[in-house]
A and B are shown apart, each in its own frame.
Chain A
Amino acid sequence: MPKRSALRRIVAACVLFGAAAPPLVAVAAGDGLLEKRESLYNNIFIFGDGDNVAMTFGQNKRYYTESSMKLSDPGALTVEYTRYMTLGVAYPPKVERIMEIGLGGGRTVSYLSASLPDTGILAVELDKDVVDLARKHFRFKETARLRTVVSDGRSFLLRDNERWDVILIDAYRGPFVPFHLLTREFYTLVKSRLNPGGVVVQNIEPTTMLFDSATATLKSVFPSVDLYDGGGNVVAVGYDGPQLSQADLVARAAKAQERYKLRYDLRQMAGERRILSRPIGKVMTDDFAPVETLRAIEKNNEKWKEQTEAPR
């Protein structure tokens, strides 16, 4: 019988080990877990504690917040950088059509749709379970002016020839952005889908070397790139043509603010603009985009400002 007892010991060890390694949910969830869903692309956890609800993607025993909302005040943008994402509407001469890649809980597009009554918005989201959960937990409602499409963002842009005034990109899958949404070819495609005067707005995490390459790549396609410190994350705005003067941008922001009466004042956010003037990263292409390696090299949180200057 020695063989069998050895086997039993192995089984017992496995069971013990399994019990010793706490399951993912128990680590940080406490009792606030409202729903857990394993989709085709993500492990999605919805947490709620009284007034707040958050959508997170679990990875490496950590939770990456994709979206959050205050139930008593669903119109608030609780994640600071998403307020700066809305600044994109200040730049173009007209904002009739907005596209967003990466829906999350749908807070940003819902806010814009409610504030810009004549604007059509299309959110392209890879994961249909994210759309489902946004409807279920984040009061996300599609309307004739606010539609969703389930597709990879780049694949959608390739197949769809329509042009947009603002393209918002917030396509994080947990801690990372897929490489094909960070290359020169991708930004060239995005540029070709913008109306004259249109802008691309992207949320970029500034604490690794990947930030340097992402902004340099953006700058290689868009002659002008403005950066905003969105409380941890950086929001980049890229556009064709020469850099707007600060007076011009503030005037545009004031006009848009006057027209849309936005809760988060565009003028104030425009005042915090930094201009990307000295990109130092290596431009990424479809051929060579070592995103995993770049992301592994950490850097100081504030260091990105060295690549920028204050606007005149």
Chain B
Amino acid sequence: MQHNYLRGFLLLALALVLGFALMGFEMLGSRYLYPYFGGGINTWASLIATVLVALMLGYLFGGALVDRTMSPRLCGALLAFAGVYLFTIPLWVDPLFGWMLGSVGDGMAGIILAATILLLLPLTLMSVFTPFAVRLLLTSITVGGRLVGFVYGVSTIGNVLGTLVTTFLLVPSFGSRALTMVFAAVTIACGAVMILCDRFLRGKQP
């Protein structure tokens, strides 16, 4: 029993941190897009749509994957890969967006493509975590509803904190490149925890 509480605590903590980082990346994304595509409602629409598509793909993909493998290690590897991708953003974003502005332009296609290249793949891999957490914690079907609600609730609190803290506290205090790298490092660390705690996180499945 003690074991299960600890496991639940760890997975919910990861859901909170990853939810925070995910929305942090959305807010930081605007700082990368503004200089090339302008700072209007169209830039925000593209960012929000990209993040929502990433969530959808991650949930679908993660759900299918966890039914097959139940492997926290695999989920951790995907998170680590997402973190590495995000970590490299400051290296290529300016030359790439500059080139895209010249070739695709700053219309709808240009902004959506830019937001997609920036965030779609890594955020999809990050949101694979949620179905993994649900499945790993699901020991009895009778508490399934509450469990799903709890995992999504905690993850969404992370989203809310990530949005507000990043916007009102972090972006006014630190450079957005440094913040991107810190958030990416946190994502890699979450992946590492899942890889290292693979056996513990599997628990005793019914």
How many A-B contacts at CB < 8 Å in the complex? 60
Interface hub of A41, A155, A186, A285 (most chain B Cβ within 10 A)? A155
Q: Which of A41, A186, A285 contacts B175 (CB 8 A)?
A: A285
B144 at interface, CB cutoff 8 A: no
Chain B contact residues: helix, strand, loop or mixed? helix
CB neighbours (8 Å) of B36 from chain A are 154-155, 158
The interface stretch among B70-78, B98-106, B128-136, B187-195 is B98-106
Q: Which of B34, B42, B172, B178 contacts A290 (CB 8 A)?
A: B172
> Which single residue of chain B is at the shortest CB-CB distance from A42?
B40
**B116-129: contact bitstring with A at CB < 8 Å (1 yes, 0 no)?**
00000000000000
Q: Which of A159, A183, A287 contacts B102 (CB 8 A)?
A: A159
With A158-B98, A159-B101, A159-B102 known to touch, is A126 a contact of B172 (CB < 8 Å)?
A: no
> Which single residue of chain B is at the shortest CB-CB distance from A294?
B172
Q: How far is the CA of A151 from the CA of B101 in the complex (A)?
A: 12
Q: How far is the CA of A152 from the CA of B39 in the complex (A)?
A: 8
**A180-223: contact bitstring with B at CB < 8 Å (1 yes, 0 no)?**
10010110000000000000000000000000000000000000
Establish whether residues A41 and B40, one from each chain, have CB atoms under 8 Å apart when the complex forms: yes
A93 at interface, CB cutoff 8 A: no
Shortest B102–chain A CB gap in Å is: 6
Shortest B169–chain A CB gap in Å is: 10
Q: How far is the CA of A258 from the CA of B172 in the complex (A)?
A: 48
> Which single residue of chain B is at the shortest CB-CB distance from A151?
B106
With A285-B175, A286-B31, A292-B172 known to touch, is A40 a contact of B39 (CB < 8 Å)?
A: no
**B91-113: contact bitstring with A at CB < 8 Å (1 yes, 0 no)?**
00010001001100110000000
B171 at interface, CB cutoff 8 A: yes
CB neighbours (8 Å) of B41 from chain A are 40-41
CB neighbours (8 Å) of A286 from chain B are 31, 35, 94, 176
Interface hub of B34, B37, B98, B105 (most chain A Cβ within 10 A)? B34
CB neighbours (8 Å) of A178 from chain B are 34, 38-39
A140 at interface, CB cutoff 8 A: no
Shortest A49–chain B CB gap in Å is: 31
Q: How far is the CA of A158 from the CA of B42 in the complex (A)?
A: 19
CB neighbours (8 Å) of A41 from chain B are 40-41
B140 at interface, CB cutoff 8 A: no
Among B24-51, those with CB < 8 Å from A are 31, 34-42
Shortest B164–chain A CB gap in Å is: 13
With A158-B98, A158-B101 known to touch, is A288 a contact of B175 (CB < 8 Å)?
A: yes
Binding site for A on B (CB under 8 A): 31, 34-42, 94, 98, 101-102, 105-106, 171-178
Q: Would you mind naming 14 contact pairs between A and B with Cβ atoms under 8 Å apart?
A: A41-B41, A151-B106, A152-B38, A154-B36, A155-B101, A158-B102, A180-B35, A180-B38, A287-B31, A287-B175, A287-B176, A287-B178, A288-B176, A290-B171
